[in-house]
């Protein structure tokens, strides 16, 4: 399977949003909240396991999501909706598939 034609869905908004937001406000680096264990990237990768079959492993996926962390911050802070944030990330991921 290749990335051509792969359609990722926008999952329901993560239940951890408030905890991630508060962690950043309490001093946890945003990169850790986005890319670390139990963070946004890990949560999404668990829902988009099809990416592995399309040639994108978790390490590469986490790097792509990490590069999108500014938009993720805007979602965490309530400046973007989950649909806006995640649909932009879907496009970013699809453009980086092999």
Alpha-carbon span 25 to 28, nearest angstrom: 7
Residue 10 counted as domain residue = no
Token pair of 40 as six digits: 């946004």
Token pair of 88 as six digits: 């932009």
| Residues of the chain under the 50 pLDDT cut | 1-3
Residue 59 counted as domain residue = yes
User: Domain range spanning residue 82?
Assistant: 17-95
pLDDT score, position 1: 42
Query: How many domains would you assign to the chain?
Result: 1
pLDDT score, position 4: 53
Alpha-carbon span 70 to 73, nearest angstrom: 5
């Amino acid at each position: 399977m290749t990335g051509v034609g792969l359609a990722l869905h926008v999952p329901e908004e993560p239940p951890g949003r408030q905890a991630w937001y508060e962690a950043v406000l309490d001093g946890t680096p945003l990169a850790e909240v986005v890319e670390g264990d139990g963070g946004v990237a890990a949560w999404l990768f668990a829902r988009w396991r099809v990416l592995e079959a399309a040639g994108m492993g978790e390490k590469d996926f986490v790097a792509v999501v990490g590069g999108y962390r500014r938009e993720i911050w805007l979602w965490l802070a309530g400046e973007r909706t989950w649909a806006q944030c995640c649909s932009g990330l879907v496009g970013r991921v699809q453009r980086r598939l092999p």
